[in-house]
Amino acid sequence: MKPIIKLCVAIAFAGFLLCRTAVKAQQLHSRWDELTASDWPKALAMSDSTCILPIGILEKHGPHAPIGADLIQVREWAARATKQEYAVVFPDYFYGQINEARHQPGTFALPERITWDLLEATCDEIGRNGFKRILIINGHGGNPQLIRYFIQTRLEKQRNYAVYFFEPNSDSAYRKQLDALHKSDAANDQHAGERETSTLLYLRPDLVEMDSASNESGANQNRLNIPNVYTAIWWYADFPNHYAGEGGKATRELGKLVTEHFIGQLVTALKAVKADMKALALQKEFFDRVKKD
């Protein structure tokens, strides 16, 4: 074989290997439970040691939406975001705070101590498996206080990972689009209402029974009004059907807007978390000072 032909063959073969490697990298699964053990080092490298912990819940979502609506949403958000920016996604996690729905069928509410210990043990195990950054995304309105306090208590003792909580916001352009598509009272659109049902129509329309959306009332019953006071029974007092809003006014168009806005912000946050080199360094500095004091 002539030298020039050998060179061309070598270049072509090298190009083939590079292409095959790139394709394989693109096909690397993002879900923790779908990775092989041999892929683990590559997943850690590609994710910059970043793991997403999507927290949903199992609870009634009106008479028309699936019990796992919160779980389905965070699962889809994580799956779609990691196609744009790679990270490893922890498997379905539905162990949050949902005591207010225990009177409804299908609710999975663990004792408070188990809920806390399980979240702590899960993050510790994620860290033990090599992840330095854990990004929590939440799909349930009853979880943020729990998650924020949990993250704050990570300063109780030193760990080799940092926990972040994704909290999306909305700008004026997005709010204008949202207002144009929204049909129901926005103030009462909280749980299984127009917005949440719309996202499910966009993500999993096969699980939504729109003809049942008006079978129960999602109106605020205002049965307990004590100014400047918080009490645990407030949600049940206002929404005993565990339904807040008008799911029957949902549209796929609104669901697409809400979902794509959320995913766009999640991708931006994920990139920032993966690139973050300060949180762990500042945690170390903090604990070095704690030891000295």
User: At 276, phi and psi to the nearest 5?
Assistant: -70, 125
pLDDT at 184: 96
pLDDT at 27: 82
- Report whether 30 contacts 79 (CB < 8 A): yes
Q: Mapping DSSP to helix (H, G, I), strand (E, B) and coil, where does residue 245 land? A: coil
pLDDT at 20: 44
Write down the H helix ranges in 129-245: 144-152, 172-181, 194-203, 234-238
pLDDT at 3: 55
pLDDT at 23: 43
Residue 268 and residue 214: Cα distance in Å, rounded? Answer: 37
Q: Mapping DSSP to helix (H, G, I), strand (E, B) and coil, where does residue 241 land? A: coil
> pLDDT tens per residue, the chain (293 residues)?
555 555 444 555 545 444 443 444 458 999 999 999 999 999 999 999 999 999 999 999 999 999 999 999 999 999 999 999 999 999 999 999 999 999 999 999 999 999 999 999 999 999 999 999 999 999 999 999 999 999 999 999 999 999 999 999 999 999 999 999 999 999 999 999 999 999 999 999 999 999 999 999 999 999 999 999 999 999 999 999 999 999 999 999 999 999 999 999 999 999 999 999 999 999 999 999 998 75
pLDDT at 291: 80
Structure tokens at 4: 């020039």
pLDDT at 12: 53
Q: Which amino acid is at 176?
A: K
pTM attached to this predicted model? 0.89
Q: Mapping DSSP to helix (H, G, I), strand (E, B) and coil, where does residue 55 land? A: strand
